[in-house]
Amino acid sequence: MSGNQNTRRAKYGLNVAIAILVAVALVVVVNALVDWQVRQLPAGAKSWLRYDLTATRAYTLAPQTQKLLSELDDQITLTAVLRVDDKNGQDVADLLEEYADASNWLDIELIHPDRDLARLENFYRQLEEHFADETAPLEAAVTTGLEHLDRLSNDVAEMKGKIDTIVADDSWEDTQLRQEFQLLSNKLGEVQSTYANAGASLSGALNDPMPPWSNARADLLNALQKADSEVLTPFAREFARRAKDRNAPLAARDTLLRMDAMIEAAREPLRDAVQTLTAPPTPTRYDRMQASLRQGEVVVILGPERERVVPVAEMFTAPTADTPAAFIGEDRLTGTLVAMQITQPPLVVFVRDTPVSVTHPRGGYTHVTSRLATADFVLTEWAIGGSNDPRNPEQAAVAPPPSPAEGQQAVWIVPTLSLERTTQADRELVASVLKKRLAAGDGVLLCFSYDPEAQFRPTDPLIELAGAWGLSPQMHELLLHEGLGPDGRPRSQAAWPVRDWPSESPLGGALAGREVQLIAPTPINFEPRPNIVTQSLIELTQPKIWSATGLTTPQEIAESAFDAEREVQRPVVAATASATSEQGDATAGRLMVFTERHWLSDQQAGRRLGNSELFMNSTYWLAGLDEAIAATPRSQDIRRIDALSDGQQLAYRLVLLAGLPGLTLLAGVGVWFVRRRG
C-alpha cells in the first residue's frame, strides 16, 4: 500500500514538473515569437503595443522628439561607438533603440570600440567615403607633397653619394680635411634619413582609417618650406666654401662645383610643391569629425548632406554637491537632429565690453558658447566701449556691428554693459542698433543687474529700449527672500532657486523639472503694448519676498530683515519674453529681458543644467526655432510620492506590522476550515 502511494506521488510530482517545464517553454516561445513579430512592425505601429510604466518615463520620447522623428524624410544613420558594459552605456543604447522604434528613417548601429575592431574600421572607411568630395583636393595635394618629399630625400642621398666618392678618393694628402668631408657626408645622411622617415611615417598614417589630411599637409609644408632655407642653402654655401679649398683634391673640388647645379635642381620643385599644398581649401567638416572622434565614446549622426557628433560624456550632467548626474541624452540627440534640419544656421552676436573674447576661459561664457557651436549656430562678437583700452573707455574705438547674411536670422546677446567700461554714447549706439535689428525681425536678449544708484543716474538707453516694449526693470530694487542661514536661523537671501515655471511661458514645458539659480535679481513691471505679446518667463514665488534699496555689500544684504512694508506681491516677475508681429502674422522681432546677469555665465550655466537649458531654449525661441525647444520627459515627468504626514506614517506602520500578519493568519484559518469540511 505504501509502495503504491509513493508511486502515485512520484507520478503526480513528475506530471507537475513536466507541466511546469512545458508552461515555461510555452511562455519563452510565445514571448520570442511576439518580440520577433513586433520588431517587424512599422515604427508607428509599435507605439500601440507598448506602455511605459517606469517612474521617469525612461522608455517614452518627448512629444517634440516624436514630432521631429515623424517628419523625417531622409535616411539618417546613428552610429554609437560605445561601451555598453556599464549603466551609462546601456542608457544610451536603450535611448537609441527608442529612436529607432519611433521612425523608419533612422538606422541604428552599436560598435564596441574594444571588441568590434573590424566593424569600427569599416565604419571609419564609410566616413571617408562620406567626406570624399571635400577631402579629394587635399588628398591629391598631399600625395603630390609626399612625392616631392621623397624626391628631396633622393636628391640629398645623391649628394651624399658624391661626397662619399670624394672621401673614398686615394689622392687625399690632408687627413684632417678628409675627416671634415666625412662629417659633411654624415650630416647629409642624417637629413636624408629624416626626410625618409617623415615620408614613411606620413604614408603609414595616411593608410589608416580617417587619415589626418590636414595634419599631413601641415607637416609637409613645414618640411618643404624649411628645406630651402635650413637644408639646401646651408649645404650650398658649404659646398662652395670647400670647392675653394686648395688642400682638397682637384677631383673633389670639381665635384663640389658641379653639385651647385644639383642644389638648384632640388630647390626648383620646392616652390611648386608648397604652392600645390597651400591651394586646396581646408576640409573643415572632415577635420571637425576627426576631432570629435578623438573624444572617445560618441554618437555619430550621418545625414545625406550633414553630419554631427554627440560625445557620450555630454549626454550626462556632471554631479554636484546638490544634484546627482542626470541623463540628458534625448535633449542632446533631438537638439542635434533639429540643428541638422536648419538650412541656414542663425547668427548669434555677443555684445561685450571687455577686452577678452567670450569664448576664452577668462571671458566667462565658454559653456554657453560651446553649446551654441554644438547646435551649429554661427557665433560672433561685437566689442563695445573699453574693449580696446579698458583704462580709457572714452577713446576706445567701436567697431561696426556684425551684419547677418541675407535671409539669416540673428540673435543678439547683451549680458550687461558695465558703467565703468562703457559711456552713455556707447550704450546709445547699442540701443539704436538693437532697435533696428528688432524691427528687422531679429531676437534680442538683454540682461540687467542690480544698481543701488540707478535712480540717480541718467536713464540707460537699453532700459529705454525695454520700455518701448512696455517693460520696466526696477534696477534699484534688490529682491530678497527669507531663508535659513548656516546656523539654522532665518536670514535674508539674494540667491533664488527657481523650480516653478509659468505654463503659458514659451519655455514652460521645456524647463519643467529644471532648477535655475538667479543671483540678486530685481523686479520687472510691464504693461500692455499694441501688437506686443509679453509673457512672464521667470516668476519668484517664495513665501516672504521684499525689495530693498541702497544695499551695496554682501554684509548689508545678509543683515537685511524682512520688512512688511516692503513686501511685494507674489509672484514677482524677474524675466519676460516678448514677441511683436506685423499685421498680426509675420514675426517682426522677439525680446527677452532678465534682471540678473550671472545666470548665463560659466559660474552658473557651467555648473547648473537648468541655467544651461534656459539659455539654449531662450536662444532657440529668439531665433524663431520654436520646434527646437526641448521638452524631455526624463526631466519633467517624474512621479514622486508626496511627503507623508505623521498620521499617514503611523497608518502605514500599522498595516505593515499588523495588517499583513493578520491577513496571513486569516488565510490560514480559511484553509483549515475548508479542509475540515472536506
Same domain? For 579 and 453 the reply is yes
* 21 phi and psi angles, rounded to 5 deg: -65, -40
| Residue type at 194 in one-letter notation | T
Runs of H (alpha helix) within 349-398: 366-374
Query: Do 374 and 251 fall into the same domain?
Result: no
Cell of residue 28, nine digits: 519563452
Task: Decide: helix, strand or coil at residue 1.
Answer: coil
Terminal Cα-to-Cα distance of the chain (whole angstroms) = 23
Which of 257, 282, 307 is at the close of a domain?
282
Coil, strand, or helix at residue 450?
coil
Q: Is residue 580 domain-shared with residue 604, that is, in the same domain?
A: yes
- pLDDT for the residue 557: 84
Q: Which domain holds residue 464?
A: 346-474+523-538+570-636
Give the three-state DSSP class for 531. Answer: coil
The predicted-structure confidence for 157-167, as pLDDT tens digits, reads as follows: 999 998 898 88
Element (H, E) at 179: helix 175-206
- Cell numbers that stand for 222 in this block: 613645414
Per-residue model confidence (pLDDT) at position 636: 39
| Same domain as 532, residue 595 | yes
Buried b (16+ CB within 10 A) or exposed e, 513-535: bbebbbbbbbbbebeeeeebebb
Same-domain pairing of 336 and 357: no
In the block, which residue shows the cell 620646392? 270
- pLDDT at residue 389 is higher than 50: no
**What percentage of the chain carries pLDDT values higher than 90?**
37
Q: How many Å apart are CA 506 and CA 30, to the nearest integer?
A: 47
Backbone angles phi, psi at 397, to 5 degrees: -80, 140
- Mean pLDDT computed over 384-404: 63
Boundary-marking domain end, from 232, 256, 282: 282
Predicted confidence at residue 585, as pLDDT, reads 40
Instruction: Give pLDDT tens digits for 217-272.
Output: 999 999 999 998 888 999 999 888 888 888 888 888 888 888 888 888 888 888 88
Question: Is residue 141 located within the same domain as residue 127?
Answer: no
Task: Give me the CATH number covering residue 95.
Answer: 3.40.30.10
417 in the same domain as 336: no
What pLDDT was estimated at residue 675?
67
Q: Flag the least confident range among 33-37, 179-183, 387-391.
A: 387-391
Residue reference for cell 558695465: 418
Residue 596 has pLDDT above 70, yes or no: yes
For residue 174, what pLDDT band results from cuts at 50, 70 and 90? Answer: confident
Confidence band, pLDDT 50/70/90 cuts, at residue 46: low
pLDDT for the residue 678: 59
Amino acid identity of residue 422, one-letter, is T
Quick check: is 370 in a domain? Answer: yes
Kindly list the strands in the beta sheet with 307-311, ordered across the sheet, starting from the edge strand earlier in the chain.
Answer: 106-111, 76-81, 298-302, 307-311
* Residue at 411 is within a domain: yes
User: Over 50: is that where the pLDDT of 547 sits?
Assistant: yes
* CA atoms 541, 544, 549, 550: torsion sign: negative
State residue 647's pLDDT score.
65
Cis, peptide link before residue 283, omega less than 30° from 0: no
Q: Please report whether residue 667 resides in a domain.
A: yes
Q: Which residues contact 94 (CB under 8 A, 6 or more apart)?
A: 58, 59
- Length of the chain, in residues: 678
Are the beta carbons of 419 and 452 closer than 8 angstroms?
Answer: no
492 lies in a domain?
no
Bridge partners (DSSP) listed for residue 590? 443, 579
Please indicate, yes or no, if residue 111 is contained in any of the structural domains: yes
In the predicted structure, residue 417 carries a pLDDT above the cut 80:
yes
CB atoms within 10 A of CB 239: 21
Residue 50 belongs to a domain: no
Angle between helix 213-226 and helix 175-206 axes, rounded to 10 deg: 160
Same domain membership, residue 257 and residue 153: yes
Q: Is residue 210 part of a domain?
A: yes
Count the domains in the chain.
Answer: 4
CATH of the domain at 461: 3.40.50
Count of CB atoms within 10 A of residue 563's CB?
12
Task: Using alpha carbons, select from 202, 188, 225, 191 the residue that is nearest to residue 146.
Answer: 202
Lowest mean pLDDT among 123-127, 341-345, 620-624: 341-345
Q: Can you say how many angstroms the Cα of residue 508 is from the centroid of all Cα atoms in its chain?
A: 23
Residue range 337-371, pLDDT digits in tens: 887 888 888 999 999 998 899 988 888 999 899 88
- For the cut 50, the answer to whether the pLDDT of residue 391 exceeds it is no
Question: Is 181 found in the same domain as 115?
Answer: no
> What integer best gives the mean pLDDT of the chain?
83
Q: What pLDDT, on a 0 to 100 scale, did the predictor assign at position 646?
A: 58
Q: Kindly give the residue spans of alpha helices, DSSP state H, lying in 294-379.
A: 329-341, 366-374
d(Cα 246, Cα 185) in Å, to the nearest integer? 20
Q: Judge whether residue 2 has pLDDT over 60.
A: no
Integer angstrom CA distances of residue 676 from 665, 669, 670, 671: 17, 11, 10, 9
Are residue 229 and residue 149 in the same domain, yes or no? yes
Q: Where is the domain boundary, 304, 319, 344? A: 344
Torsional sign, CA 324, 330, 336, 342: negative
Quote the pLDDT of residue 99: 92
User: Does residue 210 come out as left (phi exceeding 0), alpha (psi in the -120 to 50 range) or beta?
Assistant: left
Q: Are residues 574 and 663 in the same domain?
A: no
Would you say residue 598 lies in a domain?
A: yes
Report in angstroms the alpha-carbon separations of 90 from 94, 161, 287, 635: 6, 63, 29, 18
Would you tell me the crossing angle of helices 213-226 and 284-293 to the nearest 10 degrees? 110
In terms of domains, do 597 and 667 share one?
Answer: no
pLDDT for residue 640: 39
